[in-house]
Structure 1
Amino acid sequence: MVVARTVPGVVETAALLRELTARLIGGTDLDEALGRLARIARDAVPGATGCGVTLLRGGGPAAVAATDPRLRDLDHPRHGADGPAMTAIRRRELVRVAELTGETRWRRWTRRAVGLGVNALIAAPFDVDDQVIGSLNLYARRRPGLTDSDQLTAMLLAEHAGLLLAAVRDRAGRTAPVDDAVGSDSGTGVIGQAIGVIMTQRGCPAPEALRVLRTASSALSIPLREVAERLVSSVARPRRS
C-alpha cells in the first residue's frame, strides 16, 4: 500500500520555521546563511535528495550554495538563463518538473542535470530586497520525485527565507544595533527566534522587530527574554479547532 505524504501540520510547520529562523537570523555572513538554508530545505522535504540556492545581487556578483558541489555548479547563473532557477527568478513564479527526461525548455541544462541523476525539481523564487532576488531549488533522484506537499513546503521555506536573508544582509551591513541590544550570544537563541517570527508576521527588518519586542517588554514590565519565549511558544503551540 502506498501512503501519500500529507501537508505538514501547524506544529510541524512552526518547528520548521523556528529551526530555519534560529539557523539564519543570528548570522552576518550571507553566503554561510545560504548554505544553511540549502541543508535545512533538503532535510525538510522528504522527496528531495539535494538542494541549491541561487541568489542574484544587483550591482554585485551572484551567490550560489548547495548541498552537493555538483548541484552548486548546476545552479550557477554563469550558465545564463538556461535553467529552472533562472526561469523562476526571471518570471517570479514557481517552476516544477515531475519528470526531467521529457523536459524541453532548457535542453543543455537538462542534459547536465540528468547526467547528475536529477529526476525531478522544484524552483521557488523569493525576494530579499529591491536589490537581491533568488531561487530555492529542490532536486530529487528517486521516483516519483516531488509531490504537491513538497511544493507547498518549498514555497513556505522560500518566502520565509527571503525575510530572514534580508535580516542577515542588514546585519552584515550594520551589526551593532541588534548585537548591542540583545547580546552577541542571543542571536541564535530565543530572542533571535522571536525576531524572526515578528519579521515574518509584519514583513519588517530585524531592527524594527527588535523594537517591537522591547516595546512589549517595557509595556508588560517583563524581561525581554521572557517576552521572546512567550512569543515563540505561542507560535509553536497547536491551535484549537
Structure 2
Amino acid sequence: MDARNFDETSLDDALAALIERGRQTIGAADEISVTLLRGNYAHTPVVTSNFALLLDEWQYEQGQGPCLDAAACAATVTAADLTTESRWPRWTRRAVEAGAASCASVGLRLPDGIPGSLNLYARRPAAFDTDAMSLAQGFAGSAAVLLAPAVGDDPHMALSQHRHTTMQHRAVIERAKNIVMSRTQCSPDDAFALLAQQAQATGRATYEVATTLIHDAHPEQ
C-alpha cells in the first residue's frame, strides 16, 4: 500500500485515515496507535481510541512495554497472551485489567534514527497471525513514509488537531471514571475497565460510553 494514495490536506488527517484503514483491514486489531520517541520523551500522535492511548501511556509512565521495545530496536514485538506475558509485568497487569489480551508493535524506520512504532491491540489472545503481521508491516511502512518529512523538521511534531481531540476525549473519560468510582468505590483502573467492558459489550467507543454516562448523571449539563 502506498501512503501517497491519501489525499487529506493535513498530516493529522492522513495519519488518522491510515491507522483507521489499518484497523479495518487488519481484522484482528481492535485498536491501533503510533508511538514516537525522542530521548526520554514518548508520545502517541495518532490513535484510534482512548483505550489504545491509555495502553500506550501506561507504557510511557512505567518505562516498559511492547511499543517501547519495538520503537527502540526498530523491530517487531508480539505478545500472544498478556495474561502469561512476563517481559513487562507492571504494564501487562494494567493492560489485562483494562481488557487487552494480545498485542503487536512494529518498529518504524524514520529519519535520523528517531524511534517509533505502530501498535496493534486486541481483546482476544493470539489475535495476530502471520497474515495479520504482514498487513501490519505494510501499514507501518506507510506510516513511516507519512511521518518522515514531519519528524525531519520537528521530532516533537504537533499533529495538533488530532491530539487536541484526543485530549478532549481523555477529559470526558476521566469525568466518567470519577462517576464510576464514586458509585462503586473502585480504583481508577477498575473504573476504566468497567467503561471499556461496557463499550465492548455495546459495540461503541469508550468515549461514547463515557459521554452517555456523564449525560445520564448530569442531564442539565
Normalising by structure 1, we get a TM-score of 0.55
Provide the rounded CA distance (Å) in 2 between the counterparts of 1:148 and 1:61: 28
Kindly report which structure 2 residues correspond to 1:87-166, keeping only aligned pairs within 5 A, or say none: 87-130=69-112, 132-166=114-148
Deviation at 1:163, TM superposition (A): 1.8
Q: CA deviation at 1:49?
A: 0.9
CA distance in 1, matches of 2:14, 2:62: 24
String of CA shifts for 1:139-191, please: whole Å, max 9, x gaps: 1113441111111111121123212221455698xxxxxxxxxxxxxxxxxxx
C-alpha spacing 1:114/1:64, structure 2 compared with 1 (3 Å):
farther
Which whole-Å CA distance do the structure 2 matches of 1:134 and 1:72 have between them? 15
Confirm or deny that 1:21 pairs with 2:1: no
* Alpha-carbon distance in structure 1 between the residues aligned to 2:149 and 2:105: 22
Query: Relative to 1, partners in 2 of residues 1:60 and 1:147: Cα closer, same or farther, differing over 3 Å?
Result: closer
Are the equivalent residues in 2 in contact too, given 1:34–1:65 (CA < 8 A)?
Answer: yes
Query: Equivalent residue for 2:33?
Result: 52
Residues 63, 138 of structure 1: alpha-carbon distance in 2 compared, 3 angstrom cutoff? closer
Instruction: Report if aligned partners of 1:95, 1:124 keep a CA contact under 8 Å in 2.
Output: yes
> 1:46 offset after TM fit, Å?
1.5
Distance in 1 of aligned mates of 2:114 and 2:96? 29
> Aligned partner of 1:53: which letter?
V
- The aligned runs of 1:60-75 (5 Å cut-off) are 62-75=43-56
Residue 60 of structure 2 aligns with which residue? 78
Matched with 1:213 is none
Q: For residues 186-197 of structure 1, what are the structure 2 equivalents within 5 Å?
A: none
SS in 2 for 1:124: strand
CA distance change for structure 1 residues 68 and 136 in 2, over 3 Å: closer, same or farther?
same
Gaps of 5+ in 1: 1-16, 173-241
Change (3 A) 1:63 1:98: closer
Residue 118 of structure 1: how far off its partner (Å): 1.2
Counterparts of 2:61 and 2:81 in 1: how far apart (Å)? 22
Query: Superposition RMSD on alpha carbons, in Å?
Result: 2.8
User: Where does structure 2 lack aligned partners over 5 or more consecutive residues?
Assistant: 155-221
Kept in 2: contact 1:27–1:168 (CA 8 A)? no
Name 2:21's counterpart in structure 1.
40
Aligned AA for 2:116?
Answer: G
CA contact (8 A) 2:31 2:48 kept: yes
Distance of 1:52 and 1:64 partners within structure 2: 8
CA distance in structure 2 between the aligned counterparts of 1:170 and 1:154, rounded to whole angstroms: 23
Q: Is the 8 A contact 1:34 1:53 kept in 2?
A: no
SS of equivalent to 2:115: strand
Distance 1:81 1:32 in 2: 29
Rate the CA distance shift 1:146–1:155 in 2: closer, same or farther, 3 A.
same
Secondary structure in 2 aligned to 1:163? helix
How many aligned residue pairs are there? 154
Q: Which amino acid aligns with 1:22?
A: N
Q: Distance in 2 between matches of 1:120 and 1:61?
A: 22
Cα distance in 2 for residues equivalent to 1:115 and 1:59? 27
